[in-house]
Amino acid sequence: MPSLSTEVMLVTVSDRAWVGAMLEVEAALARVESRLGLIPERAAEGIAEHCRVDEFDVAQLGKAAVRSANPVIPLVNALRAAVPRDAAPFVHRGATSQDVLDTAMMLIARRGLDLVIADLGQAAATAASLAERHRSTLMAARTLLQQALPISFGLKAAGWLNAIVEARSELIRVRRTRLALQFGGAAGTLAALSDRGLDVARELATELDLPEPVVPWHTARARVVELAMALGIAAGVAGKVALDVVLLAQTEVAEVTERAAPGRGASSTLPQKHNPVEAIEILAAVRSINAQIAGLQSAMLAEHERAAGAWQAEWPAFAETLRFAGGAVSRLASLLAGLQVEPERMRRNLNLSEGSIMAEQVVMMLGERIDRVMARALVDTAVTTATSTGRSFADVLREDKTIGAHLNESELGSALDPGRYLGVSDALIDRALVAYREQAT
């Protein structure tokens, strides 16, 4: 079955990666405590030397974790068995299981965020190119899935671009300010380290290049949810673009298509079909990530100083959140890079209403000459006549003597020209491009 992720993200959140991150925390703790004179230097070297994931049976650790309700206990036991005998008593000194696992989660989050942020950067670059290149590519805007007014495809792409830029900016902020070391000992007091607990926490944060929190956050899980929400927003942005593409790629619309390749988007039974598979997988990933975020939010209800079940529920949900977000955003970058835009089809669809899509413009121009309410009534009547008789809106307008008394042929031609009713689209595209370039630098 499709993973709805990427190979690199799957590796980043794999069981092996979690074990590797936990060992990274144990090695850093030993080095810091050695520098502070809390454990012998030789013991720290012996511990760090064996904090290599290849030395451990990841699958067996997973099985053993069932007996203790977390994977840190069997890992620490295995590490103590692997290091020199005189170093074993100093493994994991002053830490609790949640310190190691939560800090490992932050390390995995940082690596996963870097992947998502990079893919969002690629998606933004392509969206910016589409916005610039299609400034004058006219199409119909749809509101409530009905044709509304003319816009440019460049403006649509600029809307995508700005949403991507904002999502990326939020992930960058979360990465910079909301990841944090977890180190509080058994109950958040660091009592096992006497009066050196804060020294160890400070140095450990520096060693792992993670911010030091004000206090341990064992049962204050807002940062985990905030991280998940930022990933969910990024996936949701990808989903919005994907949904637009799915709708625009319908046979009856055919204004965009995904890139073609042998076998890509094929149907098992229908030779003629070209399914928008990247957009479809993005939408599947978004629907999947929402459930994970809800689970992480519910895990905020944690009892006293250590949660019974809520914390344990976070690990798979957090990994899945990264997995689905990575898949959605990576596919977004690929989707935009291969998007085939069909300007002629866009113009053809824009003309389907035979001019009635310009009704608002006619009302606006007519309303400058007569009462606005009367102008609207006249245009409403013209639209109804055109629809009921099957005649073009333009012809009905030209034959209406009341309207003709106030708008001459040239003015009516201008009112019916979609390219003359784009408002401040160019300025909006420019603003989106400026915001993108400011973030990119």
User: What is the C-alpha separation between 24 and 222, in angstroms, rounded?
Assistant: 24
Whole-number Å distance between alpha carbons of 222 and 229: 10
pLDDT of residue 270: 54
> What's the per-residue H, E or C state across the chain?
CCCCCCHHHHHHCCHHHHHHHHHHHHHHHHHHHHHCCCCCHHHHHHHHHCCCHHHCCHHHHHHHHHHHCCCHHHHHHHHHHHCCCCCHHHCCCCCCHHHHHHHHHHHHHHHHHHHHHHHHHHHHHHHHHHHHHCCCCEEEEEECCEEEEEEEHHHHHHHHHHHHHHHHHHHHHHHHHCCCCCCCCCCCCCHHHHHHHHHHHHHHHHHHCCCCCCCCCCCCCHHHHHHHHHHHHHHHHHHHHHHHHHHHCCCCCCCEECCCCCCCCCCCCCCCCCCCHHHHHHHHHHHHHHHHHHHHHHCCCCCCCCCCCHHHHHHHHHHHHHHHHHHHHHHHHHHHHCCEECHHHHHHHHCCCCCHHHHHHHHHHHCCCCCHHHHHHHHHHHHHHHHHHCCCHHHHHHHCHHHHCCCCHHHHHHHCCHHHCCCCHHHHHHHHHHHHHHHHC
pTM of the model: 0.94
96: its two tokens: 């609790």
pLDDT score of 106: 98
What pLDDT digit, counting tens, does each position of 379-431 carry? Answer: 999 999 999 999 999 999 999 999 999 999 999 999 999 999 999 999 999 99
Active-site residues: which are they? Answer: 267, 306
User: What digits encode the pLDDT tens for the residues 318-349?
Assistant: 999 999 999 999 999 999 999 999 999 999 99
pLDDT (tens digit per residue) in 225-272: 999 999 999 999 999 999 999 999 999 999 999 987 666 665 566 566
Mean pLDDT score of the chain = 95
Kindly report, residue by residue over 234-243, the tens digit of the pLDDT: 999 999 999 9
Question: What CATH number labels 7-344?
Answer: 1.20.200.10
Enumerate the domain spans of the chain: 7-344, 356-415
Q: How high is the pLDDT of residue 103?
A: 98
Same topology, domains 7-344 and 356-415? Answer is: no
Fold of 356-415: Ribonucleotide Reductase Protein R1; domain 1 (1.10.40)
